[in-house]
Structure 1
Amino acid sequence: MADAALPVPTMPAPPVGVVGLGQLGGSLAAALVAAGREVTGWDVDPEARAAAADRGVRIGTQLTGVVVLAVPLPAMTAALTDLAIDPAATVTDVGSVKGPVLATLGAAFGSRFVGGHPMCGTERSGHAATDPELFRGARWAVCLERGTELPRWLRVAEIALAVGAEVVPATAADHDDAVAAVSHVPHLLAAALAAAAGEAGPLALSLAAGSFRDGTRVAGSDPALVTAMVEANAGPTAAALARVQQHLARPWPELVATGHAVRAAVPAGSRTVRVPLDRAALLALGRAGGAVTRRLAAFVEGRLPDTP
């Protein structure tokens, strides 16, 4: 049975606190300032704080409204230790793995925690990689667990929408299975491809063109961050990698034809839908490949991929 729709009052947009002002956090803070939101940021790096202040971000340790953790996964649990967080604040994050974060921050903040993960970023890192346009057109998973308070989920979703992203409702478990296939395994494959090409010698590297560049781009990412990501999602990543290895063992013509068919079947268009503020309906939208694009009074508007 579908969860009953809940009335959600429309309230003024709350302030946002961003903890961690590197590429993701710095870009988010700058984008929210540009969108007219009140933003307070903090980072242990004084250079990152200064760069954010130059972009109009208020620097401080007292955070309220919606607090966004934009720090590496290993630092997630300790990032708020010396900060003054409003007891009523909603807490979210932008980490690339959701299950372990839900287990720790969910235990600490209960229903005040709403996991999130914007599917964007580059192989660069740090405050020098800040880009206020980073999120525009990106998909941003916002986790909707059984205990999630819908008004808090909407507050996090509104932040993503404010910076130009589209919101994908998902559970932490569904998210981790999905990103293992489309993000975490590609990082491992990029590393393997780069390593194998390196062993082929200077001539091979001198002849490398677009397919090698595209296939190895993320191998330029910080190795420590990538290692933390794949190890935190080890189970789903191992399962997804095993599927890739099974495909690589197929006859090459079959493998090439199957991969081509999947890419060719990606829908080119979408249709607009309206979805009630209901957990089951929102998750169904995400599982069907859709996303929320706009918040309306008693429901949300979104897009679903066209079906053949």
Structure 2
Amino acid sequence: MEIAIVGLGLIGGSLLRALAAAGHSVTGYDADPATRDLAATAGFEVADSVPGAVAGTELVVLAVPLPGLPAVLDELTGYEGLVTDVTSVKSPVRDLAARHGVRRFVGGHPMAGKETSGFAAAEAGLFDGCAWVLTLEPHATGLPDWLTAAALFTRLGARVVPVTAAEHDRAVAEVSHVPHLFAAALALQLEGNPLAGTLAAGSFRDGTRVAATRAELIVAMCGGNAVEAGNALHRLIGELDEMRRRLEADPVRSLTPVVARAGELRCAWPTPPGAAEEMPATVDELLALGRAGGWVTAVAEDGSKVSAMRPETGRNSS
């Protein structure tokens, strides 16, 4: 497949490496000349403009932060191929694509990454085993386009999860966006507190790991999903306040059940997959799969069926 990747940071650069290693013809572009030079020096085809990168391609992957998307979409006017993205919030990107007249769009979000960023941190194996959301909007997303993207990314080792943009945004606020803000709040405990810095160990290290992510990326991610992130943050603050009340009242009898339940949920995660299954490749079937926490592992050549897995039943509440 002829593919263009616009934005060559950690995700875009890793995708460039992975797709090229899989035998696709891939052209990259980044607004930063130093990044373009770095990718070209690594042996990849790099264009000096967005139109130059996308010319003659079948698929464009937008791997730029949300604030940079409108300018890039302006340069895709008239593009006839399939467009996807890797942005960590989906409803605003869906709306931007519609406003810019993108004819064929499938929103995407690979749940992969690390604290380091930029093309120098990119690695071809970054997506192996990761959950890769591909949004599927009833009566809006072209199912053949969705299946094309799903086939491509499952071949990179990703677990493709079909959900709507709204469902994605609500879930990632709870398990990705708010955890970044909570990690930042924990890391601020070090401010003017050298004794705490000396005594901090594993629990602090693990709880603050993502606070080392570039602040601009965290703010763009959470700001683009401000409503759902705000709702999730409100719920978390409420749960913490309830823990404080239980701690003050009777920690042994009142707080223990809450902490024990949290431990049970964490020990049961990730839920092991059940048996592999084949299912019809219809919008309703795919969305039901995603809502059950399931994922697609492969797409049949004719697009009529998908191979899928879902969490083993009876384990989430153990």
The TM-score with structure 2 as length reference comes to 0.87
Q: Give, in whole Å, the separation in 1 of the partners of 2:78 and 2:157.
A: 27
Query: Shift of residue 111 of structure 1?
Result: 4.4
Please report the RMSD computed on the Cα atoms of aligned residues, expressed in angstroms: 1.7
Q: Give, in whole Å, the separation in 2 of the partners of 1:42 and 1:152.
A: 23
Q: Which runs of 5+ in 2 are unaligned?
A: 247-254
- The 5 A counterparts of 1:86-165 are 87-146=79-138, 147-165=140-158
The answer to whether structure 1 residue 295 and structure 2 residue 299 are counterparts is yes
Query: Shift of residue 246 of structure 1?
Result: 2.1
Change in 2 beyond 3 A, CA 1:111/1:244: same
Change in 2 beyond 3 A, CA 1:300/1:37: same
For 2:39, the equivalent position in structure 1 comes to: 52
Q: Does the CA contact (< 8 Å) of 1:167 and 1:293 recur in 2?
A: yes
2:161 aligned partner, one-letter code: V
Query: Shift of residue 105 of structure 1?
Result: 1.2
Q: Which runs of 5+ in 1 are unaligned?
A: 1-13
Q: Give, in whole Å, the separation in 2 of the partners of 1:86 and 1:137.
A: 35
For 1:7, the equivalent position in structure 2 comes to: none
1:227 is matched with which residue: 199, 205, 219?
219
Q: Does the CA contact (< 8 Å) of 2:293 and 2:311 recur in 1?
A: yes
Q: Does the CA contact (< 8 Å) of 1:117 and 1:141 recur in 2?
A: yes
The answer to whether structure 1 residue 254 and structure 2 residue 246 are counterparts is no
Instruction: Among all aligned residue pairs of Structure 1 and Structure 2, give the percentage whose two residues are the same amino acid.
Output: 47
Q: Does the CA contact (< 8 Å) of 1:30 and 1:52 recur in 2?
A: no
Q: Give, in whole Å, the separation in 1 of the partners of 2:41 and 2:161.
A: 32
Greater Rg, structure 1 or structure 2? 2
Q: Give, in whole Å, the separation in 1 of the partners of 2:298 and 2:203.
A: 36
2:18 is matched with which residue: 31, 42, 57?
31
Q: Does the CA contact (< 8 Å) of 1:247 and 1:255 recur in 2?
A: no
Q: Secondary structure at the match of 2:275?
A: strand
2:189 is matched with which residue: 186, 190, 196?
196
Deviation readout 1:144-200 (Å, 9 max, x if unpaired): 01210111112222232132211000100000000000000000100000112435x
2:204 is matched with which residue: 208, 212, 229?
212
The answer to whether structure 1 residue 79 and structure 2 residue 85 are counterparts is no
Q: How many residue pairs align between the two structures?
A: 293
Q: Give, in whole Å, the separation in 2 of the partners of 1:299 and 1:77.
A: 35
Query: Shift of residue 49 of structure 1?
Result: 1.7
For 2:166, the equivalent position in structure 1 comes to: 173
Q: Give, in whole Å, the separation in 2 of the partners of 1:299 and 1:85.
A: 33
Q: Give, in whole Å, the separation in 2 of the partners of 1:176 and 1:144.
A: 13
For 1:307, the equivalent position in structure 2 comes to: 313
Q: Does the CA contact (< 8 Å) of 1:111 and 1:149 recur in 2?
A: no
1:71 aligned partner, one-letter code: V
1:23 aligned partner, one-letter code: L
Query: Shift of residue 285 of structure 1?
Result: 0.7
Deviation readout 1:19-67 (Å, 9 max, x if unpaired): 0011110100110000111111111222222332344432222412110
2:44 aligned partner, one-letter code: V
Q: Secondary structure at the match of 1:78?
A: helix
The TM-score with structure 1 as length reference comes to 0.90
Q: Give, in whole Å, the separation in 1 of the partners of 2:79 and 2:159.
A: 28
Q: Give, in whole Å, the separation in 1 of the partners of 2:161 and 2:289.
A: 8
Q: Does the CA contact (< 8 Å) of 2:10 and 2:119 recur in 1?
A: yes
Q: Give, in whole Å, the separation in 2 of the partners of 1:241 and 1:120.
A: 22
Query: Shift of residue 110 of structure 1?
Result: 4.3
2:7 is matched with which residue: 20, 41, 52?
20
Q: Secondary structure at the match of 1:270?
A: coil
Query: Shift of residue 85 of structure 1?
Result: 6.8
Q: Secondary structure at the match of 2:23?
A: coil
Q: Secondary structure at the match of 1:275?
A: strand
Query: Shift of residue 223 of structure 1?
Result: 0.8
Q: Secondary structure at the match of 2:124?
A: coil
For 1:8, the equivalent position in structure 2 comes to: none
Q: Does the CA contact (< 8 Å) of 1:111 and 1:148 recur in 2?
A: no
Q: Which has the higher helix share?
A: 2
Change in 2 beyond 3 A, CA 1:269/1:170: closer
